[in-house]
Amino acid sequence: MNNNRNPNMGILNYETGKNKFSISRHAPSKDLQFFIRHYWLVEWDLREQPSYSQEVLQHPGVNVVFQRNNSYISGIERRKSVNVLQGEGQIVGVLFRPGAFHCYFQDHVSTLTDQVVNISDYFTLDINTFEEELFTLKNKEEKILIVEQFLRQSMPENDKTVDLLNEVIDEIVYNAGITKVEHLVDQFGISKRTLQRWFNQYIGVSPKWVIQRYRMHEAIELIERGVDMTQLAMDLGYFDQAHFSKDFKAAVGKSPKQYAKGNN
């Protein structure tokens, strides 16, 4: 598998969506690289167009999302999320590395799974004042600067388990042969029970879920390219197309054929 992954993996029907909004991603400063995967900034102007619903299959990392009058912390969403864009707006998002939000949270991140919570419940922050300051700025780099200042105010100690879990997830991402948890057990010499416990505590979902999610990301991209469905199911480690179709529909809400038809 190519290590140069499409940065838009997980954004469903991205070719349509990119005409409705713009998204850019920015690396964190060196002192925050342990915790932050990247910052993502979205802008849209649909004042003369209908609202647009963008569907996303989330990556296995907690997001802190800043938006006027609607800022929040989002745990991992196991099903697809739907973001309705209307009028004019912008978002400044912080995607944490898998497991790294645990260092700030100091509790089982699984309690945040499929949950949206207030930022001020977990950080000392006057959110209204912060939003006003953040969205008065026009320059993306200035926005990122004050978000980083906020993150540094309560920056915790590094936890070496986070690095280990990211090694495991990188193996899932870049090795298409990883289709079940037992492959990780063999690869890393860590018991299945320990992996499950660490994933639950630090990431919020099971290792099996992470494997399936990244295989679904790959499936979506390949379907959009028009690959053969039967071969795709085999390549992703499924015994038959029926099981693949069932998992795909559970994640995306459509069968692979329906999704392919919508992209033609």
Which stretches within the chain are classed as H helix? 14-17, 101-105, 127-136, 140-152, 160-174, 181-188, 192-198, 207-225, 229-235, 241-252, 256-262
Final residue in a domain of this structure, among 152, 177, 193:
152
**Domain boundary at 94, 125, 152, which?**
152
Q: Does residue 94 lie in a domain region?
A: yes
The string of pLDDT tens digits covering residues 131-168 is 999 999 999 999 999 999 999 999 999 999 999 999 99
Residue finishing a domain among 120, 152, 184: 152
Straight-line distance from the first to the last Cα atom of the chain, in angstroms, rounded to the nearest whole number: 26
**Interval 28-40: pLDDT, tens:** 999 999 999 999 9
Split into its structural domains, the chain has a count of 2
Q: Which domain holds residue 42?
A: 14-152
Give tens-digit pLDDT for 175-188: 988 989 999 999 99
The CA radius of gyration of the chain, in Å to the nearest whole number, is 19
Give the predicted TM-score (pTM) of the model: 0.92
Q: What's the CATH number where 227 sits?
A: 1.10.10.60
Structural domain contains residue 2:
no
91 and 181 part of one domain: no
pLDDT tens by residue, 90-105: 999 999 999 999 999 9
In a domain, 28, yes or no: yes
Q: What is the pLDDT of residue 1?
A: 40
At 156, the amino acid letter reads: P
Which strand (E) or helix (H) includes residue 62?
none
Question: Where would I find the beta strands (DSSP E) of 27-175?
Answer: 36-46, 52-56, 63-66, 72-74, 81-85, 87-96, 116-117
State pLDDT tens for residues 212-223.
999 999 999 999
